[in-house]
Amino acid sequence: MLGNIVVISAPSGAGKTTICDAIIKSDKNILRSVSYTTREPRKGEKNSRDYFFVKETEFKQMLKSKKFVEFAKVHNNYYATSKDFLNKTLRSGKTILLEIDVQGALKIKKQYPQSCMIFIMTKNLKVLKQRLISRNKDSIETINMRIKNAKKEIQYLERYDYLVINANLEEVIDSVKTIIKSLKYKIIKN
């Protein structure tokens, strides 16, 4: 039996990476899709663990050779999901977790309609802004841009299957785990 695709999207600052890390750690049958990106690595990020960091020329070459199942330009950088890794994981019967933006998520859903689409959000935009301010990583201009993007992303909520509000980290992790576990019982429709 083929594995499942789980897509997780969230506005910047909603806690997506922490949640995904916990999910991956909790179950060896869930594999994270490591994306390709043209953005520079941030402090502490490791090539091939967080992303495959590539130059734009290499990215475009890979795009031309149809190595990606989807790609998108987010905040002026390119991001893409490896087609090979996705197909291999599906064939192995494992679950692949894609932590990608809304544009990419919609492209995946179109190609793989059975994908489980999860949107993570804070209680409201005010809380999101507060989280971005308190993590102390971005300027106020960047924070305002992220909030503006979040407003755009929320408009696509109805294209997702689940909305999980990140109010309490343990609870949200449990909720996402429950959603993923339930996929085992899903009836596949052709």
- Least distance in Å: CB of 189 to ligand 5GP? 26
- Rounded Cα–Cα distance for residues 161 and 118 (Å): 6
Per the structure block, which two tokens stand in for 182? 């339930």
- Rounded Cα–Cα distance for residues 38 and 56 (Å): 6
Among the listed ranges 21-29, 99-107, 123-131, 176-184, the one in contact with ligand 5GP (CB under 6 A) is: 99-107
Site for ligand 5GP in 4-43 (CB under 6 A): 35, 39
Angle at 84 between CA 83 and CA 85, to 5 degrees: 95
Among 22, 24, 63, 74, binds ligand 5GP (CB under 6 A): 74
- Rounded Cα–Cα distance for residues 118 and 180 (Å): 10
**Residue 104 interacting with ligand 5GP (CB under 6 A):** yes
**Residue 101 interacting with ligand 5GP (CB under 6 A):** yes
Site for ligand 5GP in 123-142 (CB under 6 A): none
Report yes or no: 180 and 26 within 8 Å, Cβ to Cβ: no
Q: What is the DSSP letter of 165?
A: E
Provide the β-strand partners of residue 147.
none
**Residue 99 interacting with ligand 5GP (CB under 6 A):** yes
Among 23, 80, 128, 143, binds ligand 5GP (CB under 6 A): 80
Residue closer to ligand 5GP by CB (options 54, 72) is 72
Residue closer to ligand 5GP by CB (options 69, 180) is 69
Burial category of 160 from C-beta neighbours within 10 Å (exposed 0-12, middle 13-18, buried 19 and up):
buried
**Residue 79 interacting with ligand 5GP (CB under 6 A):** yes
Per the structure block, which two tokens stand in for 131? 């989280």
| Binding positions for ligand 5GP, rule: CB under 6 A | 35, 39, 70, 72, 74, 79-81, 99-101, 103-104
